[in-house]
Structure formats: C-alpha cells, structure tokens
Structure 1
Amino acid sequence: MVAFGKKLKERQIQEWQGYYINYKLMKKKVRQYAQQIQVGSQDRRHVLKEFSRMLDNQIEKTVLFLLEQQGLLASRISKLGEQHAEILQQPDISKIIELREEYRTVAVDLLKLLNFVEMNAIGLRKILKKFDKRFGYRFTDHYVSTRANHPYSQLQQVFKHVGLGAVIGAISRNLADLQDRQGSYLSIYDQPSVPLQDPVIDSVKAAVDRLTNSTNFLQYLGQHALIMQEELPSPAEDHVVDEKYHFMSLFLNLANTFLYMVNTYIVVPTADNYAMSLGAAPTVCGVVIGAMAVAQVFSSVYFSAWSNKSYFRPLVFSSIVLLLGNVLYALAYDLDSIAILLIGRLCCGLGSARAVNRRYISDCVPLKIRMQASASFVSASALGMACGPALAGLLQTKFKIYKITFNDNTLPGWVMAIAWLIYLVVLWFTFKEPSHVTEENGVSQKATAGPVENDGLESGLVQPLLLTSEKQNQDEEEEEEEDDDDSEEASIASHKAAPSIGSAYRLLTPSVKVQLLIYFMLKYAMEILLSESSVITTYYFNWSTTSVAIFLACLGLTVLPVNIVVGSYISNLFEDRSDVTGWLYCRGGHSRQILLASEIMVCLGIILSFHIIGPYTVPQYVLSAFITFVFAEVLEGVNLSLLSRVMSSRLSRGTYNGGLLSTEAGTLARVVADGTITLAGYLGQSRLLNVTLIPSLLICISSIIATLYTYNSLY
C-alpha cells in the first residue's frame, strides 16, 4: 500500500517525468510555509502569493507539454486521414486492417496523454486540498475562481481538454468508419452478429470520464450506499472481480435489502394498536419499532465480520432468523405476550444483513456496473421503506384458522414470514458463493497482489505536523511521502484495515465526524416522525390505520423523486463545469451549500411541528412532516455523497468499514429516537409531540453549528 506521492511517481511515464506537476515539491513547500508562519518569518499574504506563483508555473509547464503532444497526435491523425482518403478510392481489405491498427496505436498514445492529464489533475486537486486543510484558508476557491474564468486560463486548457476531445472524436469516427468498410469486404461468416465497440475507444472514454469527474443520477444515488470507489482503479483487480460476479447473486442481495426495509416499516402503522391489544401503552410502539434497530447495532458488526469469509451462509442465517422473528411477532397476539412481540422484533433485527449486501457489491460486482449496483441498493431500500406502510394498509382484514388469529396486527408478521421463506428457498438453489478471498489481519490477499491507489492516503502521521528538518536518508524520505493527504489528523501509521471500532473511529477526520453527526441527526428526526406518527395522528386527528399507512407511504415515495431532483441539479453543475473547477465548486461549494440549507430546512420543519398554541391541525402536521422528511432526504443524499469522497479509503475494506460506521450511526439514532418516544409516553400522549421534538431540535441546531465550524473542510 503506497501513498499518493509514490503512486503518482509509479504511474508516471518515464520519458515525461519532467512535465508532471511536482507534487512532492509542493507538499514540502506547504510544510515549509506552515513552519514559517508559525515562527513568524513569513506573513500569510506573502505565502499565498508565492504559492500561487508556484502553482501557475507548474500548470504552465504541464499545459505547454500537453499542447505539444496534442499537436503531434493531430499531425499523425492528419497523415492517417490522407491514407484513409486513398483507401476510399481503391478499397483494399489488408490496407483497411493495417490503417485501423495505426489508428489504434494513436489511440493508445492518446490514452497515455489522458492518463498524464489525469495524474496532474488529481495532484493539483490534492495539493489545493492539503493547503486549505493545513492553513484553514479557502485558498482553493480563490485560486480556481481567479484562474479558471480568466480568458487566457491555462487551468481551463488542461481540465476542459477541448483539444483532446477533438482528437478523441477524430479517432472514434475513423475507426468506426473503417470497421463498417471492413465488414463490406469480409464474408458473412467473418462478420460478427453484433457490432463491437473498439476496446481502445472504451478505455479512452473511461479515462475521459475519470478526468472530467462526470456524474449522473446513478452515481449520485450510488454514493448513498457508501461503497468506496478507488480514484484510480486497477484493471487487473477488476478482472478478478469480473470472475466472481454472478447476476442472480447480486439480485438476491438487493432483494434481501428490499425485504428487510419492508420488514422494518410494515409494523409502523399498527405498532401502537398491537401494543394496546397486549395491555401496554400505545407509546410502547417506540420500543416495538426500535427493538429491531437495537439488535441491528450488534448484527451489523458480526455480519460485517462474517462477510470476510462467506456471503451465502450469512444470508441463509439472516433469512432463517427473520422468518423466526416474524412468526414470533405474529404469534404474540394469541399468546397475549408483549415479551414474545419484542423478542420477535429483536430476532428480526439480528437478521439484518445489510452489511453483507453492501460488502457483496463492493467485492464481487465489476467496477463498470458497481455504481449502478450501488444505486440499486439505495433504490431497493427506498422502495422497501415506501412499500412497508403501504402493504400494512392493505392488510385490513380479520379471520381465524384454528386458534391462530389473522388481523391487521398479526398479518404483517405472517406476510413477511412467508416472504422470507420463499426468499430462503430461492437463495438456497440459486445463490452462487464467489471464490472468496481469504483475509489475514483484516487485509485481503487480493489487496497485496497489486497496488491499491489510495491506501497510503490514510496512513496517518508518525512525525509531528510541522517538520523542523529535511529528511536525510531514503527510509525517512519514503516515510515523508506517506504523509497522508486526506487524513493528517489520523494517528495510525498502519496501512491495514481498521481492526476495531475504536481504531476505525480514530481514522475519522473532524469533518467526517461532523458528517456522521449530521447523519445521526437526520435519522433521529426521521425516526421520531415515522415511529410516533400513528400515536400522534390518532390522538390529534383520530386517523385510522389505513390513513396512517397512506400518509407514511406517501412520505416514503418522495425518496427517489427528491434524489432525482437533487442528483440532476448536481449533474447539471458538472455539465456546466466539466473540469477540475466543476469538481471543486460542485463537490466543495454547491454541495456544502445544499448541505447547510437542508439542515436549516429540517430545523424549520421541526419547529413547525411543535404544538404551542391553538388547535393542532392536519395541514400543520402534514406540512411540517413533509418539510422535515423531504429535506432530511436531501440532506442524507448530499451528506453521504460528500462522505463517500472524504472518508478514509482504509475504511473501504475489512470488518469495520465506512459503510458499517454510517450504518451504526443511523441505527443508534433510531434506537435513541424510539427510546425517547417510549420514555416520553410516561408524561402522557398530550405531551408526547413536544417532548420528543425538543431533542430533535437541539441535535439539529448542534449539527448546524458543527457544519459552520468545519464548513471549509467539508469537501
């Protein structure tokens, strides 16, 4: 595992080394500037001016070389164009094949140039981020805005790559034309049944996508799964993943996610009535709903650890435990036991295999479709959240078979038990266990087979933040290169996956901790809203179970439309700024603005929910609920998108990964929220609403203050 400085050097084309941005030099300069400012030998203004000049010189060096190489490629394509014209006049299959190979050679050289630009783009992005983090100054915004919008901008020349786009277009068009003409002269037996895209063009397009950081709704949605993506993926590693991929197994993981979310929310509309039928207070619904989340806090850890060795066995165990849990939940009515009811829900929580579902996508789905799979994971969760209450609204019937009662309270348990039984049978016969990579001390063997691009970026510091002397030997120089770009606050020097929750927590920077706090806050606010909805609407408006189910289903159905709107907005920003400027502004500027604005709107929704004076009306409740829920969804999307970018890549593997930490934060929020509802119930239903909203408001205000405090580092 190597740091970005080493990785940059390894990926450089040897004969072009002198034309790359000198990342190592600039990193040393940043440390020197920090030391000089600390001792008072330089003022901040002089440092900014000098560092800007150094960046300008580095970019100019890269730009001039890039223009030179573009000219050489254009000249070669022009000469090939003359040969192309001659072939059109006198078709010759051997010359067509030869010319296609020459175009491919040019495309390979173009790919090298794109990789050259990509490494420089990443280097510049990281050094700007390092400068901001070290000095606590928004230098990036100043530098990019002044350089990118200038009419003679060299920054635009590099990162908009208009000239390279023209070269790509010329090669693609001519290769396609020659492929068509080649087909005209071959026999039908040599003609492929389906036209194939030239692989070299696919590689070029993939490089362009990485360079422009192009985005779309699927990418935006997929980031919600917190399945880490390598910035510079390894083709060899992805080939190994290709061999493990099995579509039906992926589908079963997504189905598990969907059914689990249905199982979670199908009881919400009827939990209060069920508790009352067993002699408990209606506010005990908080414990009934939250019991599943309590168990999930523990199940997430052991399922994450289990997925290091197998995917099939934990999914089978999950299905069996959920089947048993739902049967107990349904039987509690005839057994007249609130304890059996709670045990059933605890069993359901112990069957939460979301860690396995997420891990399967990360480990066994090829990179080319991983983002779509991640988006499907999030969509399956959202769909399950909406379908759960809707299904509960349809189960409004009552009958008996022998001594077993089937009514609106027990049917959710029986329906889900049947669903998990069917799932278990399909899983048993169709799931294909991939050739799992054994892990030793938290690091997979596949990770040691080839370099993982960003591992060194989370190595942490062994030396003090400000170095007082130059490194004198090679070992110390290598240690200096492993100085982390993205987590200078980390204190663990190991490159291995985090061996415990504590070590994983220590890898989190202050900005990541704030984002996890935001995630906790929004999950808390949403859980308070959803879990107490049945009690509140019955007390104030006398709503039926069907009305509550429709209301909750409508809330759940807003998830995907809201993400489409926000995702499309961010995608449009990228289209307008298809360069490093767009990355910095959209990720670092607009996303932070949306994040803060959404927190404020959630806070407003919570405030509007309070019952202070006068009668509490349906419009007030519905409006405040939609404001809180919708903007919490917006907040979740933007927050997780940012989090997926800044969280340590050491947390992308092993048991204690970033996905587990975010899941634990959200699950703990649900546990605390459901516990708050039950405790507040002792004060009476008339006080339940306001008492449960006060913690939501305080946590929300705290998250806004924390966001403002770390605003500059939230990218």
Structure 2
Amino acid sequence: MFSDEYRLARKVFQILICIDPPEERRLLLLFSEFISLCFWNMVGFGKKLRESQLTEWKGYYINYKLMKKKVKRYTEHMEVGTQNRHYVLRDFSRLLDHQIEKIVLFILEQQGVLAHKLSDIHQKQQALSQQPNCFDISQLQEAYREVGRDLLKLLFFVEMNAIGLRKILKKFDKRLRYKFTDYYVKTRANHPYSQLRQIFRHVGIGAVVGVLSHNLADLHYLQGCQGSYISIYDQPSYYHPDPVLDSIKLAVDRLSNSTTFLQFIGRHAFIMPEELPSPTEDHNAEERYHFMSLLLNLANTFLYMVNTYIIVPTADSYALSLGAAATVCGVIIGSMAVAQVFSSVYFSAWSNRSYRRPLVFSSVVLLLGNIMYALAYDLNSISVLLIGRLFCGFGSARAVNRRYISDCVPLKLRLQASAAFVSASALGMACGPALACLFERSFRIYKFTMNGATLPGWVMAFAWLAYLLWLWFCFKEPHFEDNTDQTSHQNNAGSAVQVAIEYNPIQPLLMNSETKTTDEDGNEENDDDAEEGSGETQKPVTTIVAAYKLLTPSVKVQLLVYFMLKYAMEIVLAESSVITGYYFSWSTSSVAIFLACLGLTVLPVNVVVGNYISNLFEERQVLLASEIMVCIGLFLSFHILKLYTVPQYVGSSLITFVSAEVLEGVNLSLLSRVMSSRLSRGTFNGGLLSTEAGTLARVVADGTITLAGYLGESKLLNATLVPALLICISSIVATCFSYNSLY
C-alpha cells in the first residue's frame, strides 16, 4: 500500500514541476519537502531507500542493506568471540569510507554537469542581451529552471544518503555497544580533506544556486518586468521569487538546519511533532483551531510567568516581616516549583481528555493561592504564605499550553504559535518584577493590609479572576476523538497535495520505524531501524520508567545541560534581592528594574542568535560555546576581591542569564533530534521530561539558597555559586564526551 502511495506521489510531482502559473507556486515550493519525508514513519528505511532511488543513479546510493547485514554479522561474531573489537572497527570504517567516497565523487561529478549546463545557457544569454526577444528569454528561463530541477534531484540524493549514514551509525552503536559514531566523526569530519563534510555540508551547491538566482534576475529584467535593475548582490530581496529557487532554498535550509528568528525562538517551546501528519490529522487540527482559545492559552502562559516572578523582588522582605530569615525567600520562591513537579504530570494526563477543564482548574487554584499569599501578612503566618505558593505551583498548566498548540493549531500556524508561547513566557518573566516596583505604597482596605509584600498577591488574584471569567465564556473545547483505531491513509493525489501544502519544513529529519519489509529477492526481512528496537516503537510510553529506558546517553547529556542552565538562571534571579540588598543596599524598585531588564533581553538575543549565529555555526558548537560562557559568567560572579562592585555583579549576571537563554534554544533543538519519537506524544512525552528537569533544577537552586542562608548573608553568594559552577563544568565535560554524536 505504501509503495503505491509513494509512486503516486512521484507521478504528481512530475506533473507539478511542468507547470508554473502563480497559483501553483506554493505547491511546487513545498512538494520537494513532501517527497523527501512523506513516509519515513510508515515503512523501513532500507525499503524506502530502494523505492525512492532514481534509476539512472541507482549504483551511487549508499548500500544500506549491505551495511546493515555487516552490522548483523559483526554482532553474531562478537557474541561467539570469533572477531575482536579492533577488527570490527577497522573493517566497518573501511566499508563506510568506500561508500562515502562513492557518494562524494558522484556529487562532484553532478555538480560539474550542472556547471557545464549553466555555462552553455549563460553564453546564449550573453548573445541574447544585445537583442532581447521575449520568446528566447522565456526559453532561457525555462532552461535555468530545468537546471534547478536537476539540482533538486541532487539535493534529494544528498539527503537520502545523509539519512542513511546517520541511521547506520546509530544502528552500529546500538547493536555493538561501541562509541563508533564518536570515533568516526572525530577522525573523519574534522579532517581537512573530509569527505563526510561534503555530504552533510553540501559544499559547492551554494555556488550553483547563486548562478541560477543571478541569471534568472537578469532575464527577469530583460523581460521588462522591473522598472529598474538592481543586482541581487546589492539587494537580495529585490528579485521576484521563483518557485524552483524557493524549493531549492527550503531543501538547502533543511539540510543545513538553517533557522530564522521564529524557528529559533519556537524551539524554546519544545513542542515536539508526533509524526508526519496525514491530511486527515491536519484537517482535524483545522477543525479544532479557534483563535480566541489559542489567545486564552497564551494568556494563561503569560499570567503564570508574571505570577512566578512578581514576588521575587519582595520575597526576602516578606519573609522578614513574618519573622523568618531573608534567605527563606528561596523556599518561598521554590515552593511553587516543588508543586509544579507534580502538577506537570497530572495536567499532562488531563490534557488527553480536555483542555478547558484543566485551564479552569488552574485558574481557580491560582486564584486561591494568591489570596492565601496575600492574607499571610495579616495572619502573620509563614505557613499560610508557603501553602499559597504551593497552590500557585499546583496551578501550573504549561503542559496543557504546549499540548494545545501541538494538537489544535494547524501546521501552517504552529511555528508562529510556538514562538508566541515563548514570547508570552519571556514577557511575563519581564513584567512580573516590573509590576512589583509599582507596589511601594502601603494602605489598608477594610481589615486587609496593602503593601509591597501583599499587593502582588492581591493583584494576581484579581488578574486570575478576570481571566477565569474570560475563559469561562470564550474558550471553545475542541472535539476529542478516539485515537485507538488508526484509519488507513487515503491513496489519492488530493491527499498527497494536501500533505505537501500543509507540511512544515522544520520537522525532524529522522523518523523511527520498525516493520516487516521485503528485499529484492522477495524474502521477508525485519527492517528494525527504530532506535528502541522494540516491536511497539510507534506507541507512546505509559510510565515514567518506560520513558527513562528510552533515554540514550546523548539525551541524558542534553537533559543535564537543561538542568544546568535552569539552575544557573534560578540562582541569578532568586537570590538577587538578598545579594543586592546586602552588597549595594538596593531598594525593591532597583531590584525589580534589574530583573525586568534581564527578562527583556530574551527576545533581542534570540533575534541575533536565530538569524545569524545559529546559521554561521553548527548547533553543537553554539551549545558548547554557550555552556562555556555560562561558566565564565558564574566564575565572574564570585566575591573574591575585597570590594564587590555593581558593574561586576550586573555584568556577570547578564553574561550568565543571556548565555543560558541562548543555550536553552540550542539545547532543546538538539534534544528534539536525539530523543526517541515515542517521546513525542502521550502523557510522558519529551516536553514533560524537559519540564520536569527544569523544574527540579529550580527546586534544587531555591533550596540551595535557603540552606546557604544558614552560613550568613556574607557567604551566601559564593556558597550558591559553587554548586552552580560544578554542575556547569560537569555539563561541559559531558557535552565534550557526546560532542561527535551530535553531528
């Protein structure tokens, strides 16, 4: 069945590339995405590679079947002890080198063919420039587009082989328990004459794209479509986009993992795609989508982050007013995170059945929690204050917020919705402390005291009441379907085109599958390409233990990095009021402005990193560099010299916070690629695991602040920075050990 679908899709593609009216531009733009990724989750890679090969290029593809058999043979021989580790590594390396050399030489040969075609067309173009003729211009444009289509075929060839190399390396490591990927990438990818980089970095293709773009722009000018000519090199966005060039750009961006600001900031949401959606699934998302409900979902995210950080500037003074030490602010701030560890699980499970009810429950619990937080002052009870903050933590519905965007927002809007989710969190983080600086005045209403300590609770209680009313009347509960009975996919051209139109090009490159396939001889073989090696690899995990078993060393390292960055950020934020009060005698307003400024750096930093830095360097390079910068920021924060100055504190905090923010986007992007596809859905999904790791980091950080308070405020800063620095160094070491597995 799947073979018929694939052949049908290819026929539709061959028809589409022959037409070029404006209304078909989007079809042509996205169909190359569909061809390369449409059925990775349905059939095994070995069979898919054989079926998708171009007949004339068949002998130049990676021989995935041969290498898979080699791995199986190595496994059998190692079990009986007939081969040693050194022989296996040497033999498989030699085989892989031969396969890569074959692929690279063919890529270079095809680039030469394309360059020769472009040279011939360019000579005709130069002759035509003396006496422009509309008919000849159209012929030359079509000739350039034909070269572009050939380049698309070559890009698809490169992508197929890159996927095959990644999968066979993972299979070797899984079967033989060797760190072969680490060894092979370290010795091959970093060599000055690396052939591996030719495949993963598609060297030379950019020059072909440049020639196509430049000459098509010249022809467009000769055709009289523009009032005045401006070179694409002077103004790259000037030229009217061509559908073939747009398809090439998308393919190149996907291969190189290029990002935009929206894509980079959207990664912070860690909304993992379940699988490549069928037309029916995305139609369900279209039916579920309701703009006001999405807005309410984002408002919940914003208000929760405001609620989290609005008390940070005043938590120490509130603790003092209730007879506790100033460093108890760590417990006050951290109690919300403690409750969130548990609330994330039940909200994640609840979102399998409803979105409206958990959001209503969240609002009610947060309303009660803030009232209790505010009443603690008049009741003179630190217990009531802590219970109020625990209630606020139990109202954390971030799992529901993520799940709603993943399930109820169409693919064409999901990237923007993910970016809006992260932006709402960042703005809430900045607005919380900013609001706190407005509550300097003290007065009474009836028997209730209103001052800098209690007003955050009263204001947030009122905000959650208003939100609850808005939610009650305006949120539209989407229809929930029984997903246990999986229907078959429709085998028609309309379905294929719909998938192509709606597919989002930032989906992960690899999908795991394990299925029975048939080789060329008609024999049934088990194409066990799933990382987990289980017969139920398409089912979501149902327990936390099962989820933990799916965590590979690379995933564990990325979760450690996430724990570290959240720990460092929480240390900087949570102890800021105590540290600045002790060393610099800052007022509540000064602390609030400082924290608000830190929060406001999130979006501009992501603009720079998303548009520029992440496109200049590999993600693993940015990851390691960001970890080192966090380490430097923490080291600079130590009180070593006799005089501790404001520039030292502010500068080191800014370096730590900004580096951690950059690290979060890169870390979650890598985590989504190395994490099992089974963790993309269900209750115990990747989003929940990352949330739990981050929340535990906040709990530990806030607990560290309180425990360090027993040493006295003079030693608080260094006492809290020591564990943060040790965790940071540990994450750097772990990243170095797993560095090549992130290639």
Q: Same fold (TM over 0.5)?
A: yes
Q: Equivalent residue for 2:98?
A: 53
* 1:499 corresponding residue in structure 2: 542
Alpha-carbon distance change, 391 to 170 in structure 1, aligned in 2, over 3 angstroms: same
Q: CA deviation at 1:523?
A: 1.5
**Aligned: 1:119 with 2:160:** yes
Matched residue, 1:667: 695
Amino acid corresponding to residue 119 of structure 1 in structure 2: M
Aligned-pair Cα RMSD in Å: 4.7
Of 33-42 and 315-324, more deviation after overlay is shown by 33-42
Cross-structure match for 2:638:
609
Corresponding residue to 1:532 among 561, 575, 588: 575
Aligned residue number for residue 423 of structure 1 = 467
Deviation at 1:215, TM superposition (A): 1.6
Residue deviations 1:435-482 (CA, integer Å, cap 9, x gap): 3343449x99999x99999798556999xxxxxxx999955x22xx22
Deviations 1:302-345 (A, max 9, x none): 11112222222222222222122212211222222222212221
Q: Which residue identity does 2:357 align to in structure 1?
A: R
Q: CA deviation at 1:355?
A: 0.9
**Structure 2 counterpart SS, 1:394:** coil
Is 2:625 the partner of 1:594? yes
Distance of 1:313 and 1:87 partners within structure 2:
68
Superimposed CA distance per residue, residues 214-271 of structure 1 (whole angstroms, 9 cap, x where no aligned partner): 3222222221222225797766654543443333333322222111111100001111
Deviation at 1:544?
1.6
2:669 corresponds to which of 641, 647, 671: 641
Partner residue of 1:631? 659
Checking the alignment, whether the CA contact within 8 Å between 1:261 and 1:388 is kept in structure 2 is yes
8 Å contact 1:5–1:24 — kept in the other structure? yes
* 1:317 corresponding residue in structure 2: 361
Aligned-residue offset at 1:668: 0.7
The aligned counterpart of 2:312 is 268
Distance across 2 between alignment mates of 1:197 and 1:234: 29
8 Å Cα contact 1:362-1:370 kept in structure 2: yes
**Aligned twin of 1:692:** 720
Partner residue in 1 for 2:585: 542
Matches within 5 A, 1:212-251: 212-229=256-273, 237-251=281-295
For 2:449, what is the secondary structure of its paired residue?
strand
Question: Cα distance, 1:375 vs. partner?
Answer: 2.3
> 1:284 matched to which residue of 2?
328
Whole-Å separation in 2 of the counterparts to 1:651 and 1:435: 24
On the 8 A contact 1:271/1:409 being kept in 2, the answer is yes
1:258 aligns with 2:286: no
Distance 1:41 1:637, change over 3 A: closer
Question: Letter of the aligned partner of 1:503 in structure 2?
Answer: A
Residue 704 (structure 2) aligns with: 676
User: 2:529 aligned with 1:483, yes or no?
Assistant: yes
In 2, distance between residues paired with 1:708 and 1:702?
Answer: 10
Match of 1:42 in 2: 87
Counterpart Cα distance in 1 of 2:86 and 2:722: 50
Deviates more, 1:207-216 or 1:158-167: 158-167
Q: 1:154 to 1:330 in 2, by over 3 A?
A: closer
1:301 aligns with 2:314: no
From the superposition, tell whether residues 422 and 199 of structure 1 become closer, same or farther in structure 2 (CA, over 3 Å). Answer: farther
**Aligned twin of 2:600:** 557
8 A contact 2:567–2:697 mirrored in 1: yes
Q: For structure 1, which segment, 35-44 or 668-677, has the greater mean C-alpha deviation from structure 2 after superposition?
A: 35-44
1:355-412 deviation digits (Å, cap 9, x = unpaired): 1111222223333343332222222212211111111011211222211221111111
Q: Structure 1 stretch 60-69 or stretch 628-637: which is displaced more?
A: 60-69
Query: What is the percentage of aligned positions where both structures have the same residue?
Result: 61
1:186-226 CA distances to partner (integer Å, 9 max, x unpaired)? xxxxxxxxxx9998886665445434433222222221222
The offset of 1:660, in angstroms, is 0.8
Please tell me whether the aligned partners of residues 20 and 62 of structure 1 are also in contact (alpha carbons under 8 angstroms). no
- Report the CA distance between 1:663 and its aligned residue: 0.6
Q: CA deviation at 1:633?
A: 2.5
Q: Any conservation in 1 of the 2:274–2:680 contact (CA below 8 Å)?
A: no
TM-score (norm 2): 0.76
Which AA in structure 1 matches 2:721? L
3-state SS of paired residue (2:547): helix
Deviation at 1:350, TM superposition (A): 1.1
Q: Single out whichever of 27-36 and 523-532 deviates more from structure 2.
A: 27-36
Q: Could you say what secondary structure the match of 1:225 adopts?
A: coil
**For the structure 1 residues 104 and 618, does the alpha-carbon distance in structure 2 shift closer, same or farther, using more than 3 Å as the test?**
closer
CA distance in 2, matches of 1:332, 1:429: 32
Query: Is the CA contact (8 Å cut-off) linking 2:312 and 2:333 kept in structure 1?
Result: yes
Please say if 1:658 is aligned against 2:686.
yes
- The answer as to whether partners of 1:230 and 1:454 remain within 8 angstroms in 2 is no
Once the two structures are superposed, the pairs formed by residues 4-19 of structure 1 within 5 Å of their partners are 4-9=45-50
Alignment-mate amino acid for residue 541 of structure 2? A
Equivalent position of 2:63 in the other structure = 22
Cα distance in structure 1, aligned partners of 2:350 and 2:152: 41
SS in 2 for 1:708: helix
Please identify, of 316-325 and 696-705, the stretch whose mean Cα deviation from structure 2 is larger: 696-705
Q: Contact between 2:201 and 2:256, CA under 8 Å: does it hold in 1?
A: no
Cα deviation for residue 415 of structure 1 reads 1.4
Equivalence for 1:566? 609
8 Å contact 1:386–1:556 — kept in the other structure? yes
TM score, norm. by length of structure 1? 0.78
The runs of 5 or more residues in structure 2 that have no matched partner are: 1-40, 227-239
Question: Which residue of structure 2 aligns with residue 337 of structure 1?
Answer: 381
Structure 2 CA distance for aligned equivalents of residues 613 and 170 of structure 1: 63
Match of 2:738 in 1: 710
Count, aligned residues: 668
Which secondary structure does the structure 2 equivalent of 1:405 belong to?
Answer: strand
Q: CA deviation at 1:162?
A: 4.9
Change (3 A) 1:105 1:230: farther
Q: CA deviation at 1:647?
A: 1.7
Quickly say closer, same or farther: Cα 1:265–1:461, change in 2 above 3 A. farther
Contact 1:63 1:154 in 2 (8 A): no
1:3–1:457 contact (8 Å) kept in structure 2:
no
| Residue 690 (structure 1) shift | 3.4
- One-letter code aligned to 2:529: D
Looking at structure 2, the residues matched to 316 and 250 of structure 1 have their Cα atoms a distance apart, in angstroms, of: 15
- Given that 2:630 and 2:656 are in contact with CA atoms closer than 8 Å, whether structure 1 keeps it comes out as no
Instruction: Judge conservation of contact 2:355–2:404 (CA < 8 Å) in 1.
Output: yes
Deviates more, 1:495-504 or 1:310-319: 310-319
Counterparts of 1:191-210 in structure 2, within 5 Å, are 206-210=250-254
CA separation of 1:246/1:206 partners in 2, compared to 1, >3 Å: closer, same or farther? farther
Measured at CA, do residues 122 and 675 of structure 1 come closer, stay the same or move farther in structure 2, by a change above 3 Å?
A: same
Deviations 1:518-551 (A, max 9, x none): 2112222222222222223223333221122122
Partner of 2:554: 511
How far the C-alpha of 1:70 sits from its partner, in A, is 9.8
Equivalent in the alignment of 2:446: 402
Going from structure 1 to structure 2, the CA distance change for 1:637 and 1:157 (only over 3 Å counts) comes to: closer
Q: Deviations over 1:629-652 (max 9, x none)?
A: 233223323322322222222211
CA spacing shift, 1:386–1:662, aligned 2, 3 Å: same
1: distance between equivalents of 2:488 and 2:72?
A: 35
Letter in 2 for 1:497: P
Q: Hey, what does 1:580 align to over in structure 2?
A: none
* C-alpha contact 2:162 2:199 (8 A) present in aligned 1: no
Give the Cα–Cα distance (whole angstroms) in 2 for the partners of residues 42 and 546 of structure 1: 68
Is structure 2 residue 172 aligned with structure 1 residue 140?
no
